[in-house]
Amino acid sequence: MNALIPVEVIEKKIILIRSEKMMLDADLAVLYGVETKLLVRAVKRNIDRFPVDFMIQLDKEEYENLRCQLGTSSRWGGRRYLPYAFTEQGVAMLSSVLNSERAIKVNIEIMRSFVRLRQMLSTNAELARKLAALEKKYDIQFKAVFDAIRQLMAPPAHKRRQIGFHEEKAKK
């Protein structure tokens, strides 16, 4: 089966906002092949279909934080409003608002991506539970092995590099 859009591309567009997995209106517009303003206009015409658990509008602070995280610039002539973010249910509702063949196909791929992410998270949680049970069962000689496995399971810590010139502090 040949996907219209690779799952990896879609998964990179799913971000965590307010402790919820969501997708931004601009990213969805690109995937659906429409302009962001047309997507938002269609949503506003059908606003009753998008309650707060389906769609939110980011506040200014969230938008600024997101811009910093994603590395997008604030170029002149950019967005005139704060972006909307859609939950999985909101994305599902978009296919009924954007009534096109591409919207339906893209929507199917997005739903599969959300399901795959959920499965990966539950698998990791189940693995952690099994590891804890094994650790209780075996004695201290295997502690190093369990610690090493835990380190491998942990998400990588991203250290931010400082940009620009910085004086080195004199060693005392």
**CATH number for the domain harbouring residue 98:** 3.10.260
> Is 145 a domain residue?
no
pLDDT above 80 (res 41): yes
pLDDT above 50 (res 97): yes
Q: Which two tokens stand for residue 147?
A: 């610690």
**Confidence bin at 164 (pLDDT 50/70/90):** low
DSSP classification of residue 84? E
Q: Look at residue 99 in the predicted model and tell me its pLDDT.
A: 74
> Is 104 a domain residue?
yes
pLDDT above 90 (res 85): yes
> Is 101 a domain residue?
yes
Q: Look at residue 76 in the predicted model and tell me its pLDDT.
A: 44
> Is 98 a domain residue?
yes
pLDDT above 80 (res 150): no
Cα–Cα distance measured from residue 159 to residue 161, given in angstroms and rounded to the nearest whole number: 6
Q: Which domain holds residue 95?
A: 7-123
> What residue has token string 């658990």?
53
pLDDT above 60 (res 70): yes
What's the total number of domains in the chain?
A: 1
> Is 140 a domain residue?
no
pLDDT above 60 (res 156): yes
C-alpha angle 6-10-13 in degrees, rounded to nearest 5? 150
Round the average pLDDT of the chain to a whole number and report it. 78
73 versus 142: the higher-pLDDT residue is 142
> Is 142 a domain residue?
no
